[in-house]
Amino acid sequence: MSKKNIKLMQGNEACVEAALMAGMKFFAGYPITPSTELAELSAEKLPRIGGKFIQMEDEIAGIAAAIGGSIAGLKSMTATSGPGFSLKQENIGYAAIAEIPLVIVNVMRGGPSTGLPTSPAQGDVMQAKWGTHGDHAIIALSPQSVMETFDITIKAFNLAEKYRTPVIVLTDEVVGHMREKIEIPEPGDIEIFDRKVPGPGEDYLPYRLEEGDIVPKMAPFGAGYRYHITGLFHDETGFPSNSTDNADIMLKRMISKIEDNREDIVMYDEFMMEDAEYAIISYGSTARTVRNAVKTLREQGMKVGLFRPITIWPSAEKEIKAVGRQVKKIIVAEMNMGQYVQEIERIVKSDAEVFHLGRANGEVLMPIEVVQKAKEVF
């Protein structure tokens, strides 16, 4: 048996390591703290394996070039933070409607605007879902540790390829810059998904969904299938269509490919939830604070558990609903003034009373604050 590959690593570093193992061959971006290590490490490592890195002239160009790289057939990533995430929104919508696989890492920092560089925040949770204009579905994953950053980055590439969609890795300054011990798995132990491409000489319509497929196959440009990609609503041929019937079919397929596959996409974690009468829902680095607080509360005799969504979008609707039915009260703890709590309220409805604990002043929540809030409302 080979020796385990144990390393001390930053979250951002783990993200790049995982991306390379997942098959990333292209990175385009623009410098912004606290995400810069992602660009720096990609610049260092990609050319060594024949991959490509480019620092573009701005954030918009960063995502646009990454989409271009993906269209040319390479697994592509871009990374940013706060203001850069705002600038990338239009082209996130482009990748969504044109169904281009892409991983976007957003190392969240305090906002709005230039905000609090570079203190941690979780203020981009709603933006991750609704930042680009128009209806669309999106996948966003949020890690709480360096190891989990590694794991979900692999998952992000797999989901992007499998569902032909942009996937957002919604990490934060704490996780991005924290150093922890991680175990890098053997390449053979990792499941890697590559996009389906049409076979040689196949009668290919770029946006035709074939029997047994989740999404249409995607031919890289230059492989002999001359087709059209547009951000306009289009039909199976890829050409623009103004038909309202077609728009309806297309939009529903784009949304349902993600919504109908929650079982495959949704990841979550539970801690001491079996007999919990109260739940705290938290994600990303804040969930670590809550886990500590849950232990303290348990020691003091309160039946409290932690439910931790790892997949933020689409939300773990079924599981969160079950939590709402199980417990009397829920606290949603997050580093913002009240964002994901709205999603929890939407799902839980009147099954449980929902409270919010959060702030956005650049300071992480402390376990004692969670304990105090729990004692106050539970």
Q: In angstroms, rounded to a whole number, what is the distance separating the alpha carbons of residues 209 and 231?
A: 18
State the Cα angle at 206 between 203 and 210, rounded to 5°. 70
Say if residues 314 and 264 touch (Cβ distance below 8 Å).
no
Comparison of 71 and 306: residue with beta carbon closer to other proteins? 71
172 Cβ contact list (under 8 Å, min separation 6): 107, 108, 109, 120, 121, 122, 142, 284, 285, 335
Q: CA–CA separation, 363 vs 193, rounded Å?
A: 38
Pattern 13-42, binding to other proteins, x per CB under 8 A? ------------xx-x--------------
Burial degree of 52 (CB within 10 A; 0-12, 13-18, 19+): middle
CB of residue 25 to other proteins, shortest distance in Å: 8
x/- site string to other proteins, residues 203 to 222, per CB under 8 A?
-----------------xxx
Judged by CB under 8 A, which stretch of 59-67, 243-251, 291-299, 311-319 contacts other proteins? Answer: 59-67
In the list 228, 346, 349, 375, the residue contacting other proteins (rule: CB under 8 A) is 228
Is position 240 an interface residue for other proteins (rule: CB under 8 A)? Answer: yes
* Paired tokens of 191: 């499941």
Q: Which is nearer to other proteins, 101 or 309 (CB)?
A: 101
Our CB check for other proteins shows the closer of 47 and 112 to be 47
The answer for residues whose C-beta is within 8 angstroms of residue 183's C-beta and 6 or more apart is: 4, 5, 6, 7, 147
Q: Which is nearer to other proteins, 206 or 324 (CB)?
A: 206
The residue from 5, 114, 230, 256 that contacts other proteins (CB under 8 A) is 230
Query: Does 296 sit behind a cis peptide bond, omega within 30 degrees of 0 on the bond before it?
Result: no
Nearer to other proteins (CB atom), residue 132 or residue 315: 132
Phi and psi torsions of 202, nearest 5°: -70, 145
CA dist., res. 250 & res. 237, Å (int): 12
What is the footprint of other proteins within residues 246-275 (CB under 8 A)?
A: none
Residue 20 to residue 170: CA distance in whole angstroms: 18
What are the DSSP calls for 7-43, one per residue? Answer: EEEEHHHHHHHHHHHHTEEEEEE---TTSHHHHHHHH
Q: Work out whether 367 is an interface residue with other proteins (CB under 8 A).
A: no
The only residue of 1, 50, 203, 350 in contact with other proteins, by rule CB under 8 A: 50
From the list 35, 42, 91, 286, which residue makes contact with other proteins (rule: CB under 8 A)? 91
Cβ-based nearer residue to other proteins, 75 or 291: 75
DSSP 190: S
- The residue among 6 and 223 lying less far from other proteins, judged by its C-beta, is 223
Q: Identify the residue among 94, 157, 207, 283 touching other proteins (CB under 8 A).
A: 94
Nearer to other proteins, 60 or 249 (CB): 60
At 129, list the tokens. Answer: 């879902």
Q: What SS3 state is found at 44?
A: helix
CB of 49 vs other proteins, minimal distance in Å: 8
d(CA 248, CA 162): 23
Per-residue binder mask for other proteins (CB under 8 A), 62-81, x = binder: x-xxxxxxxxxxx-x-----
47 belongs to the binding site for other proteins (CB under 8 A):
yes
Which CB sits closer to other proteins, 86 or 342?
86
Determine if 48 is a binding residue for other proteins (CB under 8 A).
yes
Q: H/E element holding 96? A: helix 82-98
Q: How many residues bind other proteins (CB under 8 A)?
A: 43
Residues in contact with other proteins by CB under 8 A are: 25-26, 28, 47-48, 50, 52, 54, 56-58, 60-62, 64-74, 76, 90-91, 94, 220-224, 226-232, 239-240
